Structure 1
Amino acid sequence: MTLRTAVLLVLVGVLAAVPAAASTPADQAVAAAEQRLGQQQDRPDAYVELATAFMKKSRESGDPGYYARAAAALDRALAVDPNDYPALRVRPWVLLGQHDFRGALAAAECAHELEPGDWWNYGTLADAAIELGDYDRALDAAQRMVDLRPGLPAYTRAAFLRSLFGDRAGAVEILGLAVAAASPQDPETLAWTLVHLGHEHFALGDLAAAAAAYSRALAAFPDYYLALGALGRVRAAAGRLDEATALYRRAVEQIPAPDLVGALGDVYAAAGHADEAERQYALVDYMGDVADATRSSYGRQLALFYCDHDRRLPTALRLSEQEAATRGGIYTDDALAWALHKNGRTTEAVRATHRALRLGTEDALLEYHAGVIVAGAGRPRRAVRHLRRTLALNPYFDLRQAALARATLASLDDHDRMALGETQ
């Protein structure tokens, strides 16, 4: 089977991302739920158990096809009993996976009205509110979740919100609590938490701490695609391109997602292998065609890839505008700003990038986009501030864009020195 065929089958949900080398806890949960259903097809809780197992398998494998299977299992549960609370409780989680964020919020509100003391409902309320850009509501829901049931699910949401509001150190501290609270019986959740801890260290420019967290994730859950790709990014940032290539290739073998394939192409480009890089970029283009045809949820990934590589720029703008119509939040605003700028609509891009920075998030990529956009709008001094902040936050933020940030800043600094010389 060719990689293109595998990409097609993964995106349409026909084929799991990669054949399992060994049975994982999620595989075992799916098998147990299916066995139970064979004996108890009139029990809604058996279908809810299967839906929950499919959701765990989706995150573990990166295969979005499991969301549809989870949704179908919940439909069966509610067909048996339309008022089954466990099914209504899990539905927002599935809708979040399917990127139906407004539907997820409505479903979470419904479950919350039925059981206002259930900690789980505050988690799905927080998740939906974050995706829709309602950060005050997300903060309230996450705090209520922590109050009701402190533990890994609450800590990870609290950490993400700390990060959004510019407190990376606080996020690292809370994620440390989440790691300590993880169960050894659930290695994927431990690995997922360690990956996000690594992301926070990487955002602070601490390559050693990031690599340590990602390596711990791989020790807990070997060949985890999220950890492989993240460690590949660290190795590339450190100039260890052969190691980065090997890690990204392993990740792509697990799940050929656009961001991983594009990052592999960037590593090839940095290593001087332009033809191999272009093959990866062309594969992302193909993935975009398949995603369009199947309505897969890769819009933001594809839009950023197209803008970063100056490919299919009208498509990038269309995808960003579609995303903004159904999803709020600063990262939606950032992707829209970048696409608007790349399509020559810089005045609108300035407004969008201002919205993207409204929380004070310490994210070098947001600052870089803002710097390039305001430079294009004829505001060089403001651009210099953004670009200096970009490189101060994380000089390794992106293998391709970091070099462009340094070059743009140098050009603006040279322009300022020349202007100063002329005035003198």
Structure 2
Amino acid sequence: MKKNYFYTASLVLLVVTGIVLFQKYQNVSEPIPPLRERQGPISTTSEWLNTKAAIQGLQRKLREKPGDLKSKLLLALAYMQEARITGEHPYYYPAALQLVEEILDREPDDQVLVYEATVAKATIQLSLHQFEAALKTGKAALQINNQGAAVYGVLCDANVELGHYEEAIVMADKMASLRPDLKSYSRVSYLREIHGDMPGAIEAMQLAIDAGFPGLEQTAWVTVTLGSLYEKTGDLKNAEAQYNKALAQSSNYAFALGGLGRLAVKQKDYQTAEQIFTQAAGIIPEFSFQEELVRLYQQQNKIIKAKATMEELLEGLEEDQAAGHVVDLELANIHLQLGKDPDKALVYAMKEYKRRPDNIDVCKALAEIYYQKQDYKTAATYLKKATRTSSQDAGLVCLDGLVKFHLGDQINGTHLIQKSLALNPYQNTTLSTEGRNLVSKAISKILFH
């Protein structure tokens, strides 16, 4: 009897202690990730002052009431946007993910909040290139709400990155039917692009711009993307118009500057290109600007500058990788195209291939690596997967032609190389240069024999 009483008393004590601890700590969360001060030109805009005030207001609310999950979600969304604007991905995406995970760990009864937090989590995972995880999270959000457009957006993106293109089209169509706006039209545009419909891609991206609000970062992004579509087809005049349009709305929009820098390179105005890329890199730490600078320095035989910028580029990407941002494909392309090291590139590319063997960009990278290693048969096996969507990417078409040419199918190989140069006559890569030389020799052989 005494023994039973002892156990009962102990159990009551444990329950009471648990209740007290729960009441004491139910509103205690991890420390709120602080807002970082912006640097350079983007730190002097009225948009930054408004953003800073809004974020500080949310942080104040959470200090006063740590259990305010709606404010926590708004802060996570604000940090996701800061990542886009500042390029500080290694800091803001993990910070946003921490906040979202705290919300979901609480298992709130508000299903709208749970849905929005789950979609936000999937979006962060996409930004970190954690595509399998994003697909799984997106499917979890779909179970909560199958009538929200946002969930179909993340499912579209995840399926695209994993190479599930038919499923991605279904998701994009569903999203556009629920909410025909900037986000849905831009996804339709990309799917048209990778399936070889460049006029359709341009049309859909223009619809995305028309659906946006001037001055917002998202509108500037799709405007620059439309410019890049024109650039890919060799229409430099319209490309320049779109980049300038984005800059007219946001004078420090780095990606628009990057577009103008690429156009300057195509026009062989290397001094202007260097100034523009340096300016863009000074606004946000975006690896593509450093990549363009390395390429530019190499073209001009500025070896010391190229080496120093390459080291900074790789250091930044490794920092991203350490923060959970998977950048193996980017590293593979950099080591191949800038480092001229196909063996090192292969290590990174195979890591990415194991994650998403059906993605056409991953397969293209592997095809180019094996081409540079002069293993044309292996390159052809990856090209079979890389070309299955009938993409009219000029670089991919050129690579396909070169591989066919070296495997003995010189007629089709020459035809594809010529097609590539017609698709985009302003290509200036190792592949395009080799392609031009092969075509020139083939024509000379026909004329003089």
Specify the TM-score bucket, using the shorter chain as the normaliser: 0.7 to 0.9
Counterpart check, 1:95 vs 2:125? yes
Pairing partner for 1:35 from 54, 60, 82: 60
Residue of structure 2 equivalent to 1:210: 239
Contact 2:297 2:303 (C-alpha < 8 Å) held by counterparts: yes
Residue of structure 2 equivalent to 1:67: 93
* Cα distance, 1:307 vs structure 2: 1.8
Residue of structure 1 equivalent to 2:288: 259
* Cα distance, 1:333 vs structure 2: 1.2
Pairing partner for 1:85 from 110, 115, 119: 115
Residue of structure 1 equivalent to 2:218: 189
Contact 2:128 2:324 (C-alpha < 8 Å) held by counterparts: no
Contact 1:45 1:87 (C-alpha < 8 Å) held by counterparts: no
* Cα distance, 1:342 vs structure 2: 2.3
- Deviation sequence 1:252-307 (CA, Å, 0-9, x none): 22344443222112223444544433443444455566566666433222212222
Pairing partner for 2:441 from 391, 411, 415: 411
Residue of structure 1 equivalent to 2:277: 248
C-alpha change, 1:31 and 1:237, in structure 2 (3 Å) is farther
Matched ranges for 1:4-403 at <5 A: 18-19=39-40, 20-22=42-44, 23-24=47-48, 27=52, 29-65=54-90, 66-81=92-107, 84-184=114-214, 187-271=216-300, 273-287=302-316, 296-309=325-338, 311-327=340-356, 328-398=358-428, 401-403=431-433
| Letter aligned with residue 250 of structure 1 | Q
| Letter aligned with residue 45 of structure 1 | K
d(CA) in 1 for partners of 2:93 and 2:71? Answer: 17
Q: Secondary structure at the match of 1:397?
A: coil
* Cα distance, 1:323 vs structure 2: 1.1
- Deviation sequence 1:25-49 (CA, Å, 0-9, x none): 6555533432332333212222211
* Cα distance, 1:148 vs structure 2: 0.8
d(CA) in 2 for partners of 1:395 and 1:63? Answer: 35
* Cα distance, 1:163 vs structure 2: 0.9
d(CA) in 2 for partners of 1:220 and 1:106? Answer: 37
Residue of structure 2 equivalent to 1:11: none
- Deviation sequence 1:356-411 (CA, Å, 0-9, x none): 11111111111122223333434332321221111110011346654343223323
Q: TM-score, normalised by structure 2?
A: 0.83
C-alpha change, 1:129 and 1:72, in structure 2 (3 Å) is same
State the structure with more CA Rg: 2
Q: Which moved more, 1:287-296 or 1:257-266?
A: 287-296
| Letter aligned with residue 56 of structure 2 | A
Same amino acid, percent of matched pairs: 26
C-alpha change, 1:272 and 1:294, in structure 2 (3 Å) is same
* Cα distance, 1:172 vs structure 2: 1.1
- Deviation sequence 1:232-261 (CA, Å, 0-9, x none): 101110122221111111122234444322
In structure 2, list runs of 5 or more residues that go unmatched. 1-34
Q: Which moved more, 1:235-244 or 1:144-153?
A: 235-244
* Cα distance, 1:354 vs structure 2: 2.0
| Letter aligned with residue 205 of structure 1 | G
Q: TM-score, normalised by structure 1?
A: 0.87
C-alpha change, 1:18 and 1:345, in structure 2 (3 Å) is farther
- Deviation sequence 1:316-365 (CA, Å, 0-9, x none): 00111111111342111111211222234331211111211111111111
* Cα distance, 1:52 vs structure 2: 0.9
Contact 1:179 1:194 (C-alpha < 8 Å) held by counterparts: yes
C-alpha change, 1:399 and 1:218, in structure 2 (3 Å) is farther
d(CA) in 1 for partners of 2:409 and 2:198? Answer: 29
- Deviation sequence 1:214-247 (CA, Å, 0-9, x none): 1111222222222221211011101222211111
C-alpha change, 1:218 and 1:93, in structure 2 (3 Å) is same
| Letter aligned with residue 351 of structure 1 | T
d(CA) in 2 for partners of 1:347 and 1:400? Answer: 20
d(CA) in 2 for partners of 1:32 and 1:167? Answer: 46
| Letter aligned with residue 395 of structure 1 | P
d(CA) in 2 for partners of 1:367 and 1:247? Answer: 29
Contact 1:43 1:80 (C-alpha < 8 Å) held by counterparts: no
Q: Which moved more, 1:365-374 or 1:169-178?
A: 365-374
Contact 1:67 1:98 (C-alpha < 8 Å) held by counterparts: yes
d(CA) in 1 for partners of 2:193 and 2:162? Answer: 17
Q: Secondary structure at the match of 2:415?
A: helix
Q: Secondary structure at the match of 1:358?
A: coil
